[in-house]
Chain A
Amino acid sequence: MLGKLRRAAELWAQGEKCLAQIHLAHLRLPKLESEEQAFRLFLADRLIASGHSPRGLCEALGFDLPEALRKYNPDEPRDRRGRWTNGSDGVDNKIILISVDDPEKEKDDPLYQEQRALGEETPEEDERHGRPIDPMGPTPFPIPGPRPTAAQASTPKPSDFVGQDFGKLRVGIEKPELGINLLSNHAVRRTEERSLSPSDLEDTVVNPLMVLRQSSGNFFYLSDNAVVVLDRSGKVVTTYSSADFDEKIY
């Protein structure tokens, strides 16, 4: 699975989107059913890009990585398609492909035939190479782009999300030149109830991870610690802390 994801990412980066889509189709990943799922995957990707471990993320959400991925070792020699090799240089001609006779599958499954045509390993070959993978199991992390090195990993910032559509929360924008100048009566009460300090609000507006422009015209600021919603004049409409970040935000 990881080999196919890597290959898809490489092809996508090269502009070969159709080929990338084919590799993704072979993975038979479950479809995203809602904007919320897409948003959660997106946030997970950002957290991993900023240095959080995928396994730590899974554990925080209450499940572990599938066994095949726990066994994954990025230092094992692989070819450019991510398949294990018997050499260390990853050259294609060192790969040993095991042909699989499964006439029933070959008759009935067009994707199976396509896999053979592209030289991709079939699920049976994956298993023989010690990679039991359940394509319908929980997706451990989102389809990755090139994984940044530790030196490259950085905290997400609003410019990372400009133009991205977050459904009901609307669209990512650059951080506006706007500061907090007032709190609505509603916001004053919520701040007290939710034990937020003025600096919690200020920090969220000054250093947000992302800012979204909402259909109401308000601005949604998200940080690690809080959400602050400002109207166009800089008045705080509402706010809540990360204690209230549930699956909706994550």
Chain B
Amino acid sequence: MAKDHAFMDVRSILMRDWDPIMMSGYLPDDEYDQYIPGVIRLLESNCGHEQLANYLLNVEKNWIEMEPQPERAVLAAKNLITAWKAKP
């Protein structure tokens, strides 16, 4: 099934602003796709950026199992919310 615009926008922001593995540009485009549905659910519930950032930090700690990077999680969360609110 073709990925819709919302999915692709979230994917793009996660890769560009979050990227906990710190290899964006050298990872497959779908590297973080697993986490997109969770992000979209939060966005649809009008979450704040702290809640979204905590979700991403949880993923970093419990899934990717690398040292969490709070600044990047917060940046990504803010940009995700901005992009979500701007979508038609």
Contacts and interface: CB of A to CB of B under 8 A. Distances in A.
B23 A169 contact: yes
Interface in B4-52: 21-28, 30-31, 34
Given A168-B25, A216-B22, A185 B63 contact: yes
Interface stretch (A83-91, A101-109, A230-238): A230-238
B21 to A, nearest CB: 6
A229 B21 contact: yes
Which of the four size classes fits the interface of chain B? 10 to 19
Secondary structure of the B side of the interface? loop
B65 A186 contact: yes
A185 B22 contact: no
B66 interface: yes
Which of the four size classes fits the interface of chain A? 20 to 34
A218 B26 CA distance: 14
Secondary structure of the A side of the interface? mixed
Contact of B23 (A185, A189, A214): A214
Ranked nearest first, the 10 interchain pairs of A and B with the lowest CB-CB distance are: A184-B65, A244-B28, A186-B64, A186-B63, A185-B63, A216-B22, A248-B26, A240-B28, A238-B21, A169-B26
Interface of A: 36, 168-169, 184-186, 189-190, 193-194, 214-216, 218, 220, 229, 231, 235, 237-238, 240, 244, 248-249
Given A216-B22, A218-B22, 14 more contacts: A36-B25, A184-B64, A184-B65, A185-B62, A186-B34, A189-B34, A216-B21, A218-B21, A229-B21, A237-B21, A238-B64, A244-B28, A248-B26, A249-B26
